[in-house]
Structures are given as structure tokens and as C-alpha cells.
Amino acid sequence: MGSGSSSKPHIGPLQERLGITLDYMRDGRCVVKATIEVFHLNKGGVAHGGLHATLLDTAMGGAVVSCLDEEEWCATVQLDLSYLNAAHLGSELTCQAEVMRRGRTIAHVKGEILDQNLDIVAMARGTWAIWPGRPDHLKMR
């Protein structure tokens, strides 16, 4: 996490339910992983694009969070995603993300998903808003 953070990096319950694990998160970079299981498949028999979007949003957001100070907060405001290759049952996916530029109120991030053969499955560019503090509705949590 950022220079002022004492929290251990973690992922949320949605990611846990999808089988996404956190591999690395610090210094403006984040890596998450997932292995394609039957429940990830769409009607065409390949991984649902929503899984790719969740992997990318998770890793890219994690990359931003890793360079925030403890009191800062961020949220995805734009995510452009390109699907390049299908991911099949049993594929081991690695999603890596990096903050390209972080300003005071905005961060630009890139990410990509690779399969076990190092083929690019999907890639994305995104923008995260950064605020100096947590929203009021989250301060009590």
C-alpha cells in the first residue's frame, strides 16, 4: 500500500468467490491470478468476459491503491478493455497491472491478462479518481 498505509494488501469477497488470488501489490504494481473453472464459462464454453473485466479492474485498482497514502481513497472512473484470445477451462490466468502516471486526483493505469502459455487474453487502460479521504459512508467501517 502507500507510504502511510499499515494495512495488509487483500482482495474483496467478490474476488474470493470468483477464485481470484492476490499475488503481488506494491509500488504501483499489482498481480492477481485465477484458474478457469466450470462456473467461469459462458454459453460458448470459454471464460466469461466479466471475469476478465473483474481481473483487470482488481489488479489495476490494486496498483493504484498500492501507491496511495493511508487516508486517500480511489475508484475506477473509466476502463477500456480489449478481448484478444479466449481462455479455456483449466487455463491459468495472470493479470498484471501498473500505474503509468499518478497525479494528485487521477491515476492512469494499464493492465493485461496472460494465460499459462504467455498469450495475451485481454488488455486494458483505465483511469482512477483519487480523493484525499474516505467517503463519509465508509468512515465508520
Q: Dihedrals φ, ψ of 56, to 5°?
A: -65, -45
From CA 48, how far away is CA 61, in angstroms rounded? 20
Q: Is this prediction's pTM over 0.85?
A: yes
What confidence score (pLDDT) does residue 139 get? 67
Q: Does domain 13-138 have CATH number 2.40.50.140?
A: no
What confidence score (pLDDT) does residue 136 get? 78
3-state secondary structure of 80: strand
Residues 6+ apart with CB under 8 A from 123: 56, 81, 82, 84, 110, 111, 112, 113
pLDDT in tens, the chain (141 residues): 444 344 567 889 999 999 999 999 999 999 999 999 999 999 999 999 999 999 999 999 999 999 999 899 999 999 999 999 999 999 999 999 999 999 999 999 999 999 999 999 999 999 999 999 887 777 655
What confidence score (pLDDT) does residue 134 get? 81
Spatial CA neighbour of 92 closest among 121, 63, 124: 121
Check: CB of residue 107 under 8 Å from CB of residue 61.
Answer: no
Q: Dihedrals φ, ψ of 43, to 5°?
A: -65, -20
Q: Where are the domains of the chain?
A: 13-138
